[in-house]
Amino acid sequence: MSFTASELKAVNRLFSQLTDLHGLYLEAKNGIALGDEIVAAQAAAEAAQEDADTANAAIAALSTPALRIVLGADSTLTADAIGAATEAIHTALALAGLTARASVKFFARLIVLSDNAADTWPVRLRLGGLGGALIGDLGALNIAANQMITLEGSIQIRTTGAGGTFDAHVRLWDPVAAEMQQDSVIGGAVNTTAAVSLVVTGECSSANADNQVSLREFWAEVWDAA
């Protein structure tokens, strides 16, 4: 069989077109495969990031205790209002949801506004309200106007429940003796089934209206155990 020149040219053109089409097919096939690989790689990277985020959150939850800050309001006690030899609360901080091994760091600052020189004024810190455990006591101070009193320290909840226990250490600035005193409690009783009140109290030996003490700062940091 023989072909004319024009027929051979037509066959060559057809072969060339088929070759071009095959090349385009290979390029498209490779492009689709590459696109699939890119999509798969992106999905794998996203899954790895999700796993990393989950792991980091779990590590953070295990290693970092949760911090809560409780702020108390300013208050002033006047001897004629509370009565002679009557312990009264300046301000109460409600410490809710205390867990075993939770730690409480606290600070209180009081200013003597005025005083009757013959009288004394004890300043105390209690856990559990007015009838709660005494954890800091400056005793019967013969205070004077413009003196500052501070109480600071920490409490750790050892066990929880109606028969819960705690340890505490308190540092108290005595402005009369100009020295720091220290008190501590080991295994004190506390009921943690409801919010526990941390209170600063005052008491005057007489009901003289000149005896006035103001609580200017009172706060607590509650670190829940991890």
DSSP string, 140-195: EE---TT-EEEEEEEEEEEE-STTEEEEEEEEEEETTTTEEEEEEEEEEEE--SSP
- Per-residue model confidence as pLDDT tens digits over 54-110: 766 655 555 566 888 999 999 999 999 999 999 999 999 999 999 999 999 999 999
Write down the pTM of the prediction: 0.72
Give the pLDDT score at 2.
Answer: 58
Residue 39: which H helix or E strand, with range?
A: helix 5-63
CB 135, CB 151: distance < 8 Å? no
Q: Which two three-digit tokens encode residue 139? A: 């005793």
The whole-number pLDDT of residue 4 equals 73
Please give the backbone phi and psi of residue 23, each rounded to the nearest 5 degrees, phi first: -65, -40
pLDDT for the residue numbered 91: 96
Residue pair 121/206 in contact (Cβ under 8 Å)? The answer is: no
Identify the segments of the chain with pLDDT beneath 50. Answer: none
